Each structure stands twice: as C-alpha cells, then as structure tokens.
Chains A and B, each alone.
Chain A
Amino acid sequence: MSNVNESVKNKTGKTYHDDLEMVRQEIDKCMKCGNCMAVCPVYDIDKEESSVTRSKIAVADALLKGQLDYKDPYVYQMAFNCLVCKSCNTNCPTKVDFGKIAVALRAELVRRNGLPWLKKMIFSTLKNPKLFDAGMKVGAAMSGVVFKGDKDLKAISPRSPFAFVGKKAGFDSNRKMPELNTSSLRDRVPEVVKAKDAKTKVAFFTGDSLNYFYPDAGMDLIEVLTENNVEVHIPKKQSCCGIPVLVHGDIETVRKLAKNNLYEFDKTGCEYIVTGCGSCGGAWQHDYVDIMAGDPVYGPKAKYWAERTYDISTFLTKVIKYREPKGEVDAVVTYHDSCHLKKTMQVFNEPREILKSIPGVTFKEMSEADKCCGSGGSYVISHYDTSASLGRKKADNINNTGANIVSTGCPACMMQLLDNINRFGKNQKTKHYISLLAESYRNEKK
C-alpha cells in the first residue's frame, strides 16, 4: 500500500472534503422550507430544530460567515448528531445534496479540532490492514472473556461486569452483536473462485462487515455468483471502503483507503465490482469519484469503477439474468431498505424481486420499510437513546408483518436489527437477502 501512496503523493486536487467553502452552492440551494423534518429520523425522535438537516445547513452557513466558532464543542456535537442516512436528500424540493454538506462540515471541524483520540486510534489501524486484521482476530479469540455467546443466533452479549460499564451506550447484557470470527471471509476463500462455464468475472468488494462479522453471508454471495457461472475475484489486500471514516471527517485516511482499493481492484482485470453492502457500494459509485476528483491518476480510475459497480441484486437482475431459483425456502420474509442501498445506490426493487422469486417465500412488505433502523455506523454507540428508539420502531413494524425472517442488504443494518429484534421483536431471524437465494439454490440439490 505504501508504494501506491508515494506514486501519487501531493497530486490530489482540492475537493469539498478539503474546504467547507466548496459546498457554498449546495448551502445556498437550501430554502429552509423544512421538508427534511418530515423524513429525518433523528428529528422524529428529538423534536428539536438542531437535529434536522436545514439547521445543520444553517450552522454550516453561520460557520462560513464567522457567526459561529469552529472550536465550539457544541457545534461539533451537533454536526455529529446525524445518521447520514440521506433520507433528507430524497425529500428535498431543491435537491440539496446534504451528504456532501455533512461530510464537508465534519471534515472542516476535524481539520480544525483534530480527531478525538479514540477515533484516531481506531482509524489509524484501518489504514494498516494487517494490523486491523490481526486486531479483529485477537478480538475474536478473546471475545469469550468479555462476551457470552448465543450459538443459535451466532451472536454474543456483553458479560455482566462489562455490561454494567457499557450500559449507557446500550452495551448492557441484553445487547446482541454478531459473533466475531477468528476466520474471516477473505481467509476462507482463495483469491479467485472459479465457476463452471464462466461467462464473466467479477471482483467482490467484501467490505469489513461482511468480512469479519458476516462471513457466511459473504460466502453465500460468492456461491450465488458461481451458481450463475460467474468467476469471483476477492482481492486479499482490499481494505475498508472508508465510509465509516469519511463520515467522521478523516479525509486523509479515506483517500489512502480509496487509493489502495482502486489499485487492488484494477489489478483483478475484472469487468465489474459487486458489493453486498449499501455503504461500500455507495463509496465505489459516488464517494471515490468525489474524493479523488482532481487526482490525475486515481480520479479517472474512480470514475471507471463507479460505472461498473453494482449491488449484487442489481448485478443479478439487470447485468446478467440470474438463474431462477427452484429450491423451496419455507419462510415469511419482510425486507428492510438500508438507507445507503436505497438512498445512495437507488437499489430497492431488485432485492424484492429476488426474494419474491424464491419458491416457498411469502413476501410481506412492512410499513416505513425505508425508514432508518438507527444504526448509522457508530451513531448507535454515540447516540444510543435515539438509535434505540428508531430500532424499536423498526422492530414494531417488523412484528406487524408476521414475518419470521427480516432480510436486508447491508451488514450494519443486520447488526442493528439483530439487537433490536432481540429486545423488542419476536425472535425473527435477520438475514442478508442473498443468503435466502443461496439457500434456495442449495435446496435444489437436496
């Protein structure tokens, strides 16, 4: 990775990630009409103006005009009380791209105030994939000390002394998290998985969540592709997509991660990239283009891949015609729209189409299917009360469908759903929708 960085050192042009003033036009587009209030999940819980999008835009404006101080800790707090779910974008009459303003605002605050030490520590390990990988595995091996397992759910909960300490952030003993795996997805598979009569080859960007928390879902995704005569490349040296770091304003780290990923995927010689996570796919489709704009080497690479990156559901339904599943899966299934999958990648019909094509599956739409589950990456830890209120609403909507499986297309949502269904649900199982298709293919052979 270090070679990659040296080759383009100092060539990255300035983007809105480097200067808040560069989103001025986006800020001016906001009419303060307040339509964002109708869809903002944080405002829905808080009922305070400072929670909603238009006020964050007003605050960005006030900072630029010198009416507010970048060093004001409450400005920082306010800027981070947002799930970056982008629901507001979809309801904005003048099409303000708040995602850009949010990132530019946070990056400016971080540039002027520095990252809090904890984030600095975590993000620096992300930049070093080997160290991060080792950390995750040591964590997995040690997890028995801190967590107790639930074999059936493949989940873990904090043991009592840790649960007591973590109660305020929702880490009480009822907390369910996916178990950490000592063997990650990328450990389990070779770099190239061949398929019979391969028609095409794709590169699978696993992202960290599928790699470390849900390797089984990742395996299912690979299996579905090979079942459809697609050769799958899984570059070992791929790193985190960078979105969790981007939304925390650490631009330097995202650029390093993006460059590494662009470099590693270029090497595969594949035609397409597929993802199984809305945030990862969104990074490839949009954020890498934005953050690398002006970089003579990586800018064009980012654009190239942006047009060739698909969520696995879009790839199956639109790029190739996936093989009709014939194996019976006896389940009542509902689907939760992950924010980044629907609002960033515009993917919402395809997963439903796939689910409905599986024999034995009864599909039940939940109300407010595209309302944020409250995960928001680390938001669930930093703003546990708001997050849990949203999680509870989501669980209620799932309960009302009578489904026994809630499917979604994003591992971060899977984690949030797992925990909130355990607290407020009726023992429904949480699954990536691709796992149900894989199960159907497997059942054909029984």
Chain B
Amino acid sequence: MIDKKIVNMLEEIVGKDHVLTHKVDLVSYSYDATADIPTEIPDLVVMPTSTEEIQKIVNLARESKIAIYPRGAGTNLSGGAIPLKKGIVLSLQKMNKILDVDPANLTATVQPGVVIAALNSAVAPHGLIYPPDPGTVATATMGGSVAENSGGLRGLKYGVTKHYVMGMEVVLANGQIVKFGGKTVKNVTAYDFSNLFVGSEGTLGIISEITCKLIPAPKYRRTMMGIFNKLEDAGNAVAGIIAAQVIPATLEIMDNMTIRTVENFAKIGLPTEAKALLLIEVDGMTEDVVANEAESVIEVLKNNNSEYKVANSDAERDQLWTARRNALPALAGLNNTCIVEDATVPRSRITDMLVAVEDIAKTNNVTIGTFGHAGDGNLHPTILYNMYDKDEAARVHKAVDEIFAAALKFDGTLSGEHGIGIAKMKYLADELGQSGLDLMKSIKESLDPEYLLNPGKMVPAPEV
C-alpha cells in the first residue's frame, strides 16, 4: 500500500480527479490485451496532462522508491502494461492533443495519448497518412505503439513504427526532461536516441511527446487473393512476387486451419481443403504502375498453381478482405483462451515455419491456426485452449516454447511486433546470448538504476 501522504502529494500534482485509488478503478488497470500472463492490481493510477506533471510524478516516485508503469490504451500483446510489482500506473490517455501537423515538412507532433486513427483522421485532409497500422489503430495510442514499436499489415512496404519516429521528448527516471530529433529528415547529432526509446517498452523513460513522419497517401490500389492446394506453392508465390520486383503494401497468408475456421464462422465460400491463402494488395501514386504490379502478381500466382480472384471495386475488395478480417475473431471463438504469438522468420523460411507450427500443433495435441504477414515473415500462430483444463494448458505452454525455438532455428526472432514484455522474457537469452543480456542490462541500469520504470518487463531485474 502507498502512504496516504504520497496520494495527497500526487493529488496536488495532477488534481484530485486525476488520481484513482478505489479498488474498482485499480482492477480496471490490472490487465492489458495479453492472454495467459499474471495480472496485478496497482496501488494507484495517476493521469497527468502535461510533461511537467509527469516529471513531478517521476521525481516523487523515485524519492519514495515506488515503481511506475506508463500505459497508453493497454492493447499490447506481451504484458507490457501490467503493474506486475505494484506501484503507480501512469495513464497517458488524457494527454491526447495533436500539437502540430506540418504538411510542408511532412511531420506531425503529438502527445502520447493520441490514438493512431485520430492522427490519421487529422492528416487525411492534407492527403497524408501515418502508415504504421497495428490491428488496434482505432484504439491504440501513439505513445504505446512507439514504446512497443508496433508493426502492422503494411510493414513490408511501409516499414514499422520505428521508421516514422523523427524525434521525441522523454522524461527520464532521474527526472530530467530530454528532447531530441525533430522535423529534419537528416539528423546525426549525437546517438540515435529515437531508436533507443522506440520499442523500449516503458523501461527506459516516459515518452511525453513524439514528432513523426507522414507520407502522401497512395492514390490507387489493387487487391487480389490467391488460393493454394500446396503450402510450398504459396511460399514460392511469396518469393516470386518479390523476385518480380513488386513490393505489395499487404501480403498476408492464412493456413488451412485458419481457412476452415473462417469459413465455418463467416460462410464466405472459401475452399476448406485449401492449404493456404494469400491476400495481396499493391498500391501507388499512378494507376498504370499499380496496374502493372497487379499484372505481375497475377502472373506469379498463375505460375504457382493458384486459383485467384481480383477485386474490381471497393465492394469486391471488401469481400476479399473479409477472410483476413475474420481470422482472429473466428479462431478466438473456438475456445475461451486465445494466445496470439508473433514469432518471425526471414521471408524465405515462411513455408518451413508454417510446416513446423503445424507439426508442433499435432505432436502436442493443441489447436493452432496460423495467419500473418507473409511478406515480412511475421506470422501469428494463434493458440486456442480451455484455460480451465490444466492438462491442455500445460501442452499449450510446451507448444509455445517449441514455436519460439523453431523461429530461432530458422534465423528468426522471438517477436516481430508485439514486444517482449512479460510473455517472452524467459526466451531472451536464446536469441541474444549472455552478452546481449549484459548489454541490455547496462543500458537499463545507466538510465534506470533502481528498476523503477516498468519493472518485470523485458529486462530481468537483478536477484535481490
């Protein structure tokens, strides 16, 4: 429990209405969107509205040795927002102002609580977009997605969050406010701090302002779907599209289990015996370039024994997307617990990884449907089980271990876009080795020596 004196001081900093102490409110900040991880009820929640307030809160917490957990909308999938060791949840949802949209420099500057979709609505009148599009664009905050380095469906062509962060303001654990980067395309002053804090999962500092890059919205697009009877053909088609020098905005894959489940759920006429489905969207600024790219894609599909469909209108595009849109809802409906992993492999190993996941599901007798971003090798093996069945839960945990081992075996990585958080900490050494862990530890300890910022996530705390 936190001393009443400290509650009073926090109330002085942010105002009484912005400190939550009732148990019912605290329960509301005990979870995020991650399944199958421990949750914890924080001691209190503070909702600052300015950088100065954040600074005062950080100073007070440090002097009193209380942990702080920065939180956006709490939609992450690795346990990054769980107040694991109790303390203060610092909710940034009320810092939701778009401070500047600058079409001349193609930048926007926002407070961390701005929802990604709100930023896109604000820049749309200028014909611009902010491309990173995690599945939660309509709810997730800019601060949260920068801290988690979120990806999305357009990663292959447009990159992920880290490619769009040009500058930041951060409140450090020592209470200093630091600003770096800005509106210039080129900036090699000092270390590349932006890339240090992007994806730091709230363990190095509290992001209080972000300047991000915008790009002109593509004006044309074509959408296609390919259906394959052999997994190898789908894998070869992915490689073939890239070899044909087409970089699609979206290149999504679904395995047989996912196809069957989606068809059963949405009845949209998918062939349930198909081994894989690809959803491909090419886009660009001119109609003929996009049409040429679409033709190249269709040629590749034909050459790889694919049945294919091309959307000729927005309504038809919407139809093709229905399958992909329903992938997670349909799978999630199979049981009461749904773990979405994001093990990622080099693009050329997609087929190997899909086969490996299928084998893991079989040998452990668990239900796994896999879909994901084939273009960038980022797959989402989605595991469905009954949390009340202890035996099944144990088999699921073994399968998860094996999925990560397989990804690393194929020269892949533990996480493509969800982050490490609580969920994947135990695998870190498998990918980074002891020297990698040591490097992480020395960065953490130089910025937050007392492990007060988001403790229990990503960086293993020293044994006490």
Contact = CB atoms under 8 A, between A and B. Distances in A.
Interface of A: 25, 28-29, 31-35, 37-38, 47-50, 55, 58-59, 62, 67-68, 72, 74-75, 77-78, 93-95
B30 A58 contact: yes
Contacts of B338: 31
B329 A94 contact: yes
A50 B93 CA distance: 12
Given A32-B33, A38-B138, A58-B30, A93 B328 contact: yes
B336 A28 contact: yes
A31 B35 contact: yes
Contacts of B75: 33-34, 37
B230 interface: no
Interface string B11-41: 0000000001011110111111111000001
Nearest to B77: A33
Given A31-B338, A34-B75, A49 B28 contact: yes
Nearest to B76: A34
A35 B138 contact: yes
Contacts of A94: 329, 332-333
B332 A38 contact: no
B31 to A, nearest CB: 5
11 contacts: A28-B387, A33-B136, A35-B139, A37-B73, A50-B24, A58-B28, A58-B30, A72-B24, A77-B24, A78-B25, A95-B333
Contact of B33 (A34, A38, A50, A75): A34
Given A37-B138, A93-B328, 13 more contacts: A25-B336, A29-B333, A31-B35, A34-B139, A37-B139, A47-B94, A47-B96, A48-B28, A48-B91, A50-B24, A58-B28, A68-B24, A95-B333
Interface string B345-386: 000000000000000000000000000000000000000000
A102 to B, nearest CB: 15
B113 interface: yes
Interface of B: 20, 22-25, 27-35, 41, 47, 73-75, 91, 93-94, 96, 113, 117, 136, 138-139, 328-329, 332-333, 336, 338, 387
A65 to B, nearest CB: 10
B31 A32 contact: yes
Contacts of B30: 58
A99 B310 CA distance: 40
Give the interface centre of A34, A38, A78, A94 by most chain B CB atoms within 10 Å: A34
For the complex of A and B, 10 pairs with smallest distance between CB atoms: A93-B329, A55-B28, A38-B138, A50-B28, A74-B22, A28-B336, A49-B28, A37-B139, A34-B75, A47-B93
Contacts of B34: 32
Contacts of A62: 27
A94 B327 CA distance: 11
Contacts of A95: 329, 333
Nearest to A38: B138
Contacts of A33: 33, 75, 136
Contacts of B23: 68, 72, 74
A55 to B, nearest CB: 4
